[in-house]
Structure 1
Amino acid sequence: MRLTRFTDNALRCLMLLGLEPERCITVNEIAERMNMSYEHLVKIVHRLSEFGYVETVRGRHGGVRLGKSVHDISIGVLVRQTEENLALAECFDPQQNTCPISSACRLTGTFDEALNAFLAVLDQKTLADILEPRAELVPLLVRRESMVVATSYP
């Protein structure tokens, strides 16, 4: 199973916001700090806003902030909402299925069982759980402004 870039970036966006819940962070800053495409992130933030995961704030000190507690954001639910297609094989989609053995094949059931197990594990995790190694995550996401070293000229 491989998650789309959309889901991966949505998770990373929420992680950054979860590490700094007291701030409104601009989409541009999130894109820079998380090494994402700004244009793609705008679409992600819009979708996350529709789901209530984030709030957008206009104005001079505007940006994006979490719309829910980190404890209320289920990773399993988020993955289901952001993945357009969780079909592991063609036979999962009756409209696209051209497999001649699908009516007797046990592989579909096996894949379905594996997908359900995957999602069950994600359902047990919240954003708070994946932010657990805060001491390790925070230094990796240092704001770019604080990374700039002052240079003195003679």
Structure 2
Amino acid sequence: MQLKKYTDYALRILIYTGTKPNTELSSIKEISEVFNISQHHLGKIVFELNKMELLETVRGRNGGIRLAKPAEEINVGLLVRSLESDFNLLECFDKETDHCVISPACTLKHTLNRALHAFFKVLEDYTIKDLIVNEQELRNLMGMNK
């Protein structure tokens, strides 16, 4: 299973903003430079995270973004579920597109379905706070301590 870049970038934005004090704003420009991601693409993701009430945006000359709630309240599993739209790992996961002749007797789909549920169960055990437990190391790698 592979997550979309959109989800990957959303998690990076939340990790980045989560490593800053909540009084300090981040900019899309600085996040773009740290991760070498298009500002335009990040802007779309920030807009979505703001709609989800995970990021707060502050307009104006000294504006920017910050977490809208404490990092320990942002569940990684729930975030990934809401950002990812396709969990059909195989053709047979979707009855409308399933043309496999062994599908009625095949147990592979059940095995993969269990694995998918286990994947999300593990992710639901983590919050953004858990992902930034090594905050100082992350800040160093992102060039925040220069």
**Same-fold call, TM cutoff 0.5:** yes
Within 1, Cα distance between the matches of 2:36 and 2:69? 24
Which secondary structure state, in structure 2, belongs to the residue aligned with residue 98 of structure 1? coil
Gaps of 5+ in 1: 147-154
Q: Give the structure 1 partner of residue 33 of structure 2.
A: 32
Shift of 1:100: 2.0
Choose 94-103 or 125-134, whichever is displaced more. Answer: 94-103
Shift of 1:47: 1.0
Choose 99-108 or 7-16, whichever is displaced more. Answer: 99-108
The TM-score, its normalising length taken from structure 2, stands at 0.93
Q: Give the structure 2 partner of residue 72 of structure 1.
A: 73
Gaps of 5+ in 2: none
Q: CA RMSD in A?
A: 1.4
Shift of 1:94: 1.9
Within 1, Cα distance between the matches of 2:142 and 2:84? 26
Q: Give the structure 2 partner of residue 14 of structure 1.
A: 14
Within 1, Cα distance between the matches of 2:38 and 2:96? 33
Q: Is residue 33–residue 143 contact of structure 1 (8 Å, CA) maintained in 2?
A: no
Within 2, Cα distance between the matches of 1:143 and 1:130? 17
Q: Is residue 25–residue 63 contact of structure 1 (8 Å, CA) maintained in 2?
A: yes
Within 2, Cα distance between the matches of 1:96 and 1:52? 35
Within 1, Cα distance between the matches of 2:95 and 2:107? 16
Which secondary structure state, in structure 1, belongs to the residue aligned with residue 80 of structure 2? helix
Q: Give the number of equivalent residue pairs.
A: 145
1:93-145 CA-to-partner distances (Å, cap 9, x unmatched) read: 2222222221221111001000000100000000000100112111011149x
The TM-score, its normalising length taken from structure 1, stands at 0.89
Report matched runs for 1:89-100 at 5 Å: 89-100=90-101
Q: Give the structure 2 partner of residue 54 of structure 1.
A: 55
Give, as a single letter, the amino acid of the residue that structure 2 aligns with 1:37: S
Within 2, Cα distance between the matches of 1:143 and 1:121? 30
Within 2, Cα distance between the matches of 1:37 and 1:101? 44
Q: Give the structure 2 partner of residue 132 of structure 1.
A: 133
Determine whether 1:5 maps to 2:5: yes
Report % sequence identity.
Answer: 41
